[in-house]
Amino acid sequence: MDARLNFFGSSIATGFAKHINSAGRLITDSSLPAATQELVKLRASQINGCGFCTDMHTKDAAHAGETQLRLNLVAVWREAKVFTEAERAALELTEEGTRIADAAGGVSDAVWANAAKHYDEEQLTALVALIALINAYNRLNVIVQQPAGDYQPGQFG
């Protein structure tokens, strides 16, 4: 499978990526736990059917020390005993924030309140920004049908 566009060879894409990646660095450097960030990116990518991002974030998380068991269970986190209550709250917010068009009213007050129990305001801000950012990346890659499988950890860093 080939991508519909050579997104990596476009001057518009390069400029766009420079700015969106800068936003990503702010989140990466935030106090939101790194493991939570990878779980959120992976779960949103799974929901959106983004093979490129699922490949990337699975490999990046494993490279950073995430266990294979937890990576295998992200898609079924509700039934898994391997996630903390804070991670579960982040995954739930990720699902509702990613599926925002599916629910009248968007993210429920209950899901928001649960996340707010586990994260301070700066972390919540980073979490919301991360959910928005990974959804943007997912949409770019799904639209152009960016192939998955060749990503190497640190390739873009």
DSSP letters, 17-72, are HHHHHHHHHHHHTSSS-HHHHHHHHHHHHHHTT-HHHHHHHHHHHHHTT--HHHHH
Determine the pLDDT at residue 157.
65
Residue 3, domain member (yes or no): no
* Maximum average pLDDT range among 3-12, 16-25, 95-104, 120-129: 120-129
pLDDT tens for each residue of 100-109: 988 777 899 9
Q: Please say whether the beta carbons of 93 and 111 come within 8 A.
A: yes
- Residue 73 above 70 pLDDT? yes
Residue 149, domain member (yes or no): no
Residue 99's CATH number: 1.20.1290.10
Determine the pLDDT at residue 3.
87
pTM of the predicted model, to two decimals? Answer: 0.93
Q: What is the mean pLDDT of residues 87-104?
A: 93
Residue 16, domain member (yes or no): no
Q: What is the mean pLDDT of residues 32-54?
A: 97
Q: Which of 8-17, 44-53, 92-101, 109-118 has the lowest mean pLDDT?
A: 8-17
Question: How far from 45 is each of 31, 40, 118, CA to CA, in Å?
Answer: 22, 8, 23
Q: Which domain holds residue 137?
A: 34-144
Place of tokens 């305001």: 121
